[in-house]
Structure 1
Amino acid sequence: MGFNVLSLVLSVVAVAASTWGVRLQISRARADSDLAMTTDLILTHVRDPQFQRDQLWVLNGLSAEHGPENGLEGLPEPANLRAWNVGIVYETVSIMLRFELTNPVILMSLAQHRIVKTWEALEPYVAVERERRGRVVFPFFEDAYVAAKAADPSLLYASLGLRKADGSPRVPDGRAGGAPWRAPGRGRGIGGRRSSPTRPTRLTRRRTPGF
């Protein structure tokens, strides 16, 4: 009887150890994948000179040159191509954020300001395009805008122990309604329940000025 109990205990321990080892390997593979996809997105797409020119034009020139009454597709060339280029890149970034195909905290830290400003520049044109098409255009980009608008980066910076130039620690600025950035579960989006700003080791798994 004692031998059978001991065998059972050893079997359970062996299964638990094997399961833990598999989960550790999956976690490491996932971290490597996150880093690779984030790096590819930044170096291959975001840092592309044409995208940078198009983005600056959307932010500073689009509304001055063309009204939103014809939507995106109705803009004359090359304005429509430039606006679509920027919108599609941000839609792709936002899909990666929503489904956690890349590290969401790093990517939101990198892109929060430009997600907000670019969506606000394109939104009147997107609204008309949606009406013309009878379907939603750039839904993931809009979702990322909501998350970026609500997020308070100072909470993240404080939780990670980032310091100012004089060596003093950064502290939350107490912006009303601000929320931390949290790594979501797949499909739950930025702000999901999986992690907490008081546990920075979860966040570190996860601003070039140009983005």
Structure 2
Amino acid sequence: MTIDLLSKFQYAEFHDHHEYIYLKLRSENDPGRGVGGLSPEARMAFFDVVYFYQSFAEISIFGIADEEIFVSILHYRILRVWEAVAPFVEKERELRGGDATYLALFEELAARAAALPRTVISDRIAKSRRRRGYR
């Protein structure tokens, strides 16, 4: 399942959507209109990218996959995307009558990514090298 999700990284469209989220979403769309008020281009990028991370959140928080592996790999991207979409998600929750569950798993994933030490990748590499006898 994790491999299937990560396979999205081989598609230029996914990377284009990613860039759109953190470079243009807020400047081209009003967070005060929520997710439902996004332009068609923004909606496509939002659903492609945000639900990608929501899927990772689902499989990690429910213990289906090792959270540390992909959160450490996707750390920076998770944080940037959540930062860009949070105002839209918060407004959407309000528009849905205070539905705090809307994208709550992605929000939790971002919080866990923020709490992860920045050295987790270099620590893993060092541990792997020691285990294999590399210097």
Query: Normalising by the residue count of structure 1, what TM-score does the alignment of the two structures yield?
Result: 0.55
In 1, the alpha carbon distance for the partners of 2:31 and 2:120 equals 36
Instruction: For residue 124 of structure 1, give the secondary structure of its aligned residue in structure 2.
Output: helix
Residue from 8, 25, 40 that aligns with 2:4 = 40
Partner of 1:148: 113
Deviations 1:13-40 (A, max 9, x none): xxxxxxxxxxxxxxxxxxxxxxxx3222
Partner of 1:98: 61
Partner of 1:74: 37
Aligned length: 129
> Which runs of structure 2 are paired with 1:196-207 in the superposition (5 Å)?
none
Contact 1:96 1:102 (8 Å CA) reproduced: yes
Which structure 1 residue ranges, 4+ long, deviate > 3 Å from structure 2? none
1:158 paired to 2:123: yes
Contact 1:115 1:148 (8 Å CA) reproduced: yes
In 1, the alpha carbon distance for the partners of 2:93 and 2:33 equals 11
Q: Which runs of 5+ in 1 are unaligned?
A: 1-36, 164-168, 170-199, 202-211
In 1, the alpha carbon distance for the partners of 2:124 and 2:3 equals 24
| Shift in alpha-carbon separation, 1:57–1:131, aligned structure 2, 3 A | same
Residue from 110, 118, 125 that aligns with 2:73 = 110
In 2, the alpha carbon distance for the partners of 1:98 and 1:72 equals 24
Query: Normalising by the residue count of structure 2, what TM-score does the alignment of the two structures yield?
Result: 0.83
Contact 2:57 2:105 (8 Å CA) reproduced: yes
In 2, the alpha carbon distance for the partners of 1:47 and 1:97 equals 22
Structure with higher RCO (Cα < 8 A, 6+ apart): 2
**Structure 1 residue 78: Cα displacement:** 2.3
Bigger mean CA deviation after superposition, 91-100 or 118-127: 91-100
Rg larger for = 1
* Paired-residue identity, %: 26
**Structure 1 residue 159: Cα displacement:** 5.4
Q: Which runs of 5+ in 2 are unaligned?
A: none
**Structure 1 residue 85: Cα displacement:** 2.0
In 1, the alpha carbon distance for the partners of 2:19 and 2:33 equals 21
More helix, by proportion = 2
Contact 1:63 1:121 (8 Å CA) reproduced: yes
